[in-house]
Structure formats: C-alpha cells, structure tokens
Amino acid sequence: MAGRVVLAYSGGLDTSVAVHWMTAELGGEVIAVAVDVGQEADFEAIRQRALAAGAVEAVVVDAKDEFAADFIAPSLAANALYEGRYPLVSALSRPVIVRHLVAEARRHGAGAVAHGCTGKGNDQVRFEVGTRALAPDLDILAPVRVWGMTREATIAYAEKHDLPITISRDRIYSIDENLWGKAIECGILEDPWAAPPEDVFSLTVPTATEPVELVVGFEAGVPVSLDGTPLRLVDLIAKVGAVAGSTGFGRVDMVEGRRVGIKSREVYECPASLALIAAHQDLEGLTLERDVAHEKLRLEPRFAELAYDGMWFSPLREAISAFVTSTQQHVTGEVRLRFLPGGGLDVVGRRSPVGLYDHGLATYDAADSFRHEDAEGFVRIFGLGVKTWAAGQRRGLTGEST
C-alpha cells in the first residue's frame, strides 16, 4: 500500500493498531475519519489518539442530523425491522460512514479506504459494498481481516509499539451505539441459552414506577413533535429513548442470520427506535388506504433486508424507498404512547387531520351513514367465484350434469 488511505476510525484497539500497521507494514499514509452518529464518545480524545498512532491527519465529522434525516427517517417510514425484530441500529450507521469515507478520500486524494472489521461480521459487507457503489475506483483495505491476530496478539502489538490506547484484557462485551440504539455481543451472550446479565444494559434500566405517556406528532411520516412541542429529529429520538428506556422498554434478544451465513446471538437496546416504529405503524393504520398499506407491508421486510445486507446504495433499495416516500404524504397526525413499568408499551390513541376513519361509517349506532342495503349485492358478487367453484365441486362428487 503506497499512497494514502482513509480509515473508518473508532478510536478502539483494532483501528488504532490498524493506523500503525498500515503505516509501518504497508508504507502508506493514513487519514483517520471518525464519524459522530450519536455514540457517547470524546471525539477530541479520539482524534488525538489517531494522530499519536501515526495518522497524518484525523478528521471528526458530526453526522448526527444527516444520519437522522437521510437514513433513520427513510427506515422509520419503511417500519424497517430485520427478521421482524431488529431496527437496524448498526446497519443504518454504516452507509453514512461510508459516504464520509468516500468524501474524505476525494478531498485528500486517497486511492483507498479501509475499515477495522473482521471476516465474520456483517459490517465488512456494508463498508465494502457501500464503497463500491459510491466509488468503484477506490481500493478497499481490511487490515484486521488480513493480519489475523487474536485480541491478545493485537494488544501485544499495541504494547510493543507504545500505541496510545486504553487496553483492557477484561473487556467482556463488544458494543456499538448510535442515535437509533445499541448493539451488544460477545462474552456470555455467545451462549444463546444464557440470559443477558443486567450489566449489559444502559439505555433500558428501569427507574419509572408509574406508567408514562408521550404524544408523538408526525408530518409526512417523520416525527416532528413530542407532546405538542416541535423538536429536531435528533433531539426527539433522544427524548423518546430516555422516557421509554426508563420503563425498561426497548430490549431485543435474538439469534439472527448474518449475511455471511453465521447465526449470531445479539442483544439490542432500542427504546426510541422501537417506540417510534410502533407509533408510525399505528398512524399508518389510520391514514393509509387499504391496498397501499397491504402492498407496503409486503415491501417492508425487503427494505430491512437490503439495509441489513449493506445494499443501502443499491437501485432496489432506492426504488422501494421511492414507493415508501409516496405513501407517506398523508401520514400526518399524532399517536399517544403509554409506557408501562417493566417494559410494556401500548398505543392508546391516534388522530389525524387527514385520517381515513369515518365515525359515521364505522359506528353501529342507529344514525350511521352506511347504506346497509348496498351490502347484499356486494357480498353476493364478492362471493360469486367461490360459490361457482363449490357448485362445480358438488357436481363432480354427485355426478350431476350442468
């Protein structure tokens, strides 16, 4: 590797060693790029760590609003849950990171980008497929996948070269966090029979002792207010997460099928994302026409699968998003959520100025506006096909002629 490479830099052990390894072993210049997608981190300390490890430049990008508007909002509109449960916490942050890796590669005249993923995970797919979609001319380096060092060997390498990292041989869990939630794996969680210990959780620690209600306001499918107060999406997500998490709501414990063919036990904390998806789904029930809603339900799992598989920048994901966007123009209104101590969530109310619920049609009161006499002909014609089929079956069984 001669020349410049832009590295997706987290500040952890693997990416810090990767800076030195690519510089010393491959003879290149490394530009470290740390992207803020809402994780708790000291980004100035991360920037200094990259420089101390040997990077010629370290860039920090605040992408929280971009992440919320361009990646979270479209996924929320699609009610995206991989395998019906996982709201794509890590999967959604990777394409925004890729977007900035490519931008920095162009800005610095780099011929390659790099990531710190292993060969077993989904993230290598997301980084590499995304990069090739946006910049097929760039080379891609995966030093962790190439060097094949164990964690102990990686720590030893860092100690040998005096790399400025905080080393913990007792680190139990691998954690990835952003605005949309938190992913936790490794340690005891690798046993799918073992219950997750409470110390893995930080976003869903129960403190509330009474039910708590929130009213989420939507405009064209995007959350815009809480309890009537307008909020930017980043702040709204944080507030919903704090309230929902205080009741213990938002935990997901599942064995999922990775893109690389491995079954993996994953634990997620997603109080904001799961609550907002529940609210959005319910509002769609009030505002979407029946056939549109049913067709959208068929496409939502495909959207989630594409995002999970690293195909965010694919033409199919963009085409599905175009359909989803067209369905959202009237998904406007408010949804009342009730969070219950112990992790429960109920949708207890919904209203919309453009809702399709008509009390005059739906009520069973005597003064309803439904023309009951029209129903007989509708039902007769609707069932004509199955009636004809049944009559034919009867003739076949009895030997009757037509």
Q: Whole-prediction pTM value?
A: 0.93
CATH of domain 174-288+330-351: 3.90.1260.10
- Give the span between the Cα atoms of 368 and 372, in whole angstroms: 10
State yes or no: is 107 an active-site residue: no
Q: Any idea where the domains of the chain sit in the sequence?
A: 3-160, 174-288+330-351, 359-398
Give the pLDDT confidence of 111-161 residue by residue, as tens digits: 999 999 988 889 999 999 999 999 999 999 999 999 988 888 888 889 889
Give the span between the Cα atoms of 27 and 145, in whole angstroms: 18
pLDDT per position as a tens digit, 56-79? 999 999 999 999 999 999 999 999
CATH 3.40.50.620 for the 3-160 domain, yes or no: yes
Task: Give yes or no: 94 in active site.
Answer: yes
Catalytic residue among 174, 202, 326, 369: 174
Q: Confirm whether 351 is a catalytic residue.
A: no
pLDDT in tens, 279-292: 999 999 999 999 99
Write down the catalytic residue from 10, 123, 309, 317. 123
Rounded to the nearest 5 percent, the helix, strand and coil shares of the chain are 45, 20, 35
In CATH terms, are 3-160 and 174-288+330-351 the same topology? no
Annotated active-site residue 132? The verdict is: no
The 10s digit of each residue's pLDDT in 36-51 is 999 989 999 999 999 9
**What share of the chain has pLDDT > 70, as a percent?**
96
Check 14, 176, 282, 309 and give the catalytic one: 14
CA distances 247 to 177, 212, 227, Å, are: 20, 8, 18
Helix axes 290-308, 271-287, angle to 10 degrees: 150
359-398 is classed CATH 1.20.5: yes
